[in-house]
Amino acid sequence: MTETTTAKANIGVVGLAVMGSNLARNLASRDGNTVAVYNRSVEKTNTLLSEHPEAGFIASEKIEDFVASLQKPRTAIIMVQAGKGTDAVIDQLTQLFEPGDIIVDGGNALFTDTIRREKAVRETGINFVGAGISGGEEGALKGPSIMPGGSAEAYETLGPILSSIAAVAEGEPCVTHVGTDGAGHFVKMIHNGIEYADMQLIAEAYDLIRRGTGKSPAEIADVFAEWNRGELESYLIEITAEVLRQVDAKTGKPLVDVIVDQAGSKGTGVWTVQTALNLGVPVSGIAEAVFARGLSSHPEQREAASDLPGPSDAWRVEDHDAFIEDVRLALYASKIVAYSQGFDAIAAGADEHGWNIDLGAVSKIWRGGCIIRAQFLNRIADSYSDVPDLKLLLAAPYFAEAMAGAQDAWRRVVVASAQSGIPAPAFSSSLSYYDGLRADRLPAALVQGQRDFFGAHTYKRVDGEGTFHTLWSGDRSEIQATDSH
Ligand code: 6PG
């Protein structure tokens, strides 16, 4: 490894695990980039250098040399595991960087950490940019979707570099300056929440089809491959077909049948739901997806419940093709709900944190590179371009029509799930959300009555202004009150 004191690199990457290495290689493959690399343990650096001499990396063993190898304004992308490691690298770089330099955190940081870090780093005159990067290992290498936050000033330098490595969808790079400080990581978090919902919905569709029709995983792979040619076309549907088709070399069984049925998580789905709860946004589809992973991962409870009775009546699917088409429509409608809820959460987060987030631009940068990339993000982009302050994505004309076409099938699938005892929590909660929104009257009126009864929490009346309380423990007459929410 050559140590260098001459600033030759226009961009640096700190953290050379798979995502960092791939991002560094992606950067190095673009015209005009010379990439400096640094990793805490030198082995990873050496492996990268020996496996990819074509990249022309400038590598350093010491972070001081790494910093010295960067041209000004220095720009370094940190690709380390989110958490304490990120803070440690930020501290080191902050001590060595100068005002005007840019530190980018490309990990999956919690957006509130990014807000805190940006504030602290800004005081030194150095720019700090939290950038969500989606697309997994392959995306990092070939073109991810990038969601940078931070200052507009930093984006002037960073934007062209990120545009050069991002995925391209319909001729446009999948990167935009999402908003200030933590906005980029916030949007990446919601992306992951939608990813959870999308994955869970696909898993429910697979389960219903398998148990309802008796088709094998390989046959269901064909169903998903077919779906991928229509309005459901997306990366997650595509890889689902691949996973279902995979045969385990050891046993000859479908791989899906030898994988333990307990889904893990690294936490971004949980953050999405926690954040949405704080914002008062019902992201029920996303929440059910998080809960479903949690339920799957409690084998002791599943064991304790295994003898509990299921439905008394036998359930049979008469027409397999018709059932599969119903499931496809249920998946499509529930997926629209998940995206609609996710965009609601972004809008609410933007309000809360003072970010000016262009929802149409977000939908556009999710069209390529990221895990939730899907054909229908074009329709979301169109909906926001037609009505920029759209109140409810699923009620936009294109999606309202899709819901109208899908809702009967969706109901049949939810009924089938309840009758058969096959769990479909994301399908059914999404349908309840849809019905809740379209209801003329909700039983929330009764909840308000109950709250007023036991806690004098007051209520409004449908027939006039004002706030009221009934004297429940007295003569039950109604009095004017002060709104207590
Ligand atoms: C992406 C993914 C990625 C995600 C992991 C695992 O956009 O590239 O969302 O960031 O963190 O794939 O997530 P879980 O372990 O939480 O499923």
Q: Mean pLDDT across the stretch 81-94? A: 92
Q: Is 19 annotated as a binding residue?
A: yes
Position in ligand 1 atom list of the atom nearest CA 136 = 8
> Each residue of 14-40: pLDDT tens digit?
999 999 999 999 999 999 999 999 999
The minimum-distance atom of ligand 1 relative to the CA of 108 is 10
Please give the distance, rounded to the nearest whole angstrom, from the Cα atom of residue 192 to the centre of ligand 1: 6
Percent of the chain with pLDDT over 70: 99
CA of 266 to the centre of ligand 1 (A): 7
Residue intervals of the chain classified under CATH 1.10.1040.10 are 188-438
Q: Does 81 belong to an annotated binding site?
A: yes
CA 263 to ligand 1: nearest atom: 17
Provide the pLDDT for residue 71.
Answer: 96
Per-position b or e across 28-51, b if 16+ CB within 10 A of its CB: bbeeebbbbbbbeeeebbeebbee
Any binding-site annotation on 41? yes
The pLDDT of residue 8: 92
Q: Whose CA is nearest to atom 1 of ligand 1?
A: 134
Looking at residues 445-463, what average pLDDT do you find? 98
Mean pLDDT of the region 77-86: 91
Q: What CATH number has the domain spanning 11-177?
A: 3.40.50.720
Residue 5 has pLDDT above 70, yes or no: no
pLDDT greater than 90 at residue 277: yes
Instruction: Write the residue with the smallest CA distance to atom 6 of ligand 1.
Output: 266
Average pLDDT, the chain: 96
Question: Sorting pLDDT into bands at 50, 70 and 90, what band is 4?
Answer: very low
pLDDT beyond 50 at 366: yes
**Is 301 marked as a binding-site residue?**
no
Q: pLDDT grade, residue 54 (50/70/90)?
A: very high
Which residues does the annotation mark as catalytic?
188, 195
16 annotated ligand binder: yes
Predicted confidence at residue 368, as pLDDT, reads 96
Tens of pLDDT along 287-296? 999 999 999 9
The residue whose CA has the least distance to atom 12 of ligand 1 is 136
| CATH superfamily assigned to domain 443-480 | 6-Phosphogluconate Dehydrogenase, domain 3 (1.20.5.320)
Over range 303-314, report the average pLDDT.
96
Q: Is 193 annotated as a binding residue?
A: no
pLDDT score of 1 more than 90: no
The CB of 268 under 6 Å from ligand 1? The reply is yes
Q: Distance from the CA of 342 to the center of ligand 1, in angstroms?
A: 16
Query: Range(s) for CATH 3.40.50.720 in the chain?
Result: 11-177
CATH number 1.10.1040.10 is the correct assignment for the domain at 188-438 = yes
In this predicted model, what pLDDT tens digit does every residue of 109-137 receive, in sequence order? 999 999 999 999 999 999 999 999 999 99
pLDDT for residue 434 is more than 50: yes
Place 3 in a pLDDT band, splitting at 50, 70 and 90.
very low
Choice from 141, 195, 202, 262 to test ligand 1 binding pocket (greatest atom count within 8 A of CB): 195
Q: State if residue 197 touches ligand 1 by the CB under 6 angstroms criterion.
A: no
Pinpoint the residues of the chain covered by CATH 1.20.5.320: 443-480
- Residue 375: predicted pLDDT: 87
Mutation pick for ligand 1 pocket among 192, 196, 272, 370 (CB with most ligand atoms within 8 Å): 192
Structure confidence by residue, pLDDT tens digits, 103-114:
999 999 999 999
pLDDT in tens, 155-201: 999 999 999 999 999 999 999 999 999 999 999 999 999 999 999 99
Mean local confidence (pLDDT), 354-381: 96
Q: Is the pLDDT of residue 438 over 90?
A: yes
CA of 365 to the centre of ligand 1 (A): 17
Residue whose CB lies within 8 A of the most ligand 1 atoms, among 265, 371, 372, for a mutation test: 371
pLDDT in tens, 137-150: 999 999 999 999 99
Is the minimum distance from the CB of 239 to ligand 1 under 6 angstroms?
Answer: no
Rounded average pLDDT over 391-410: 97
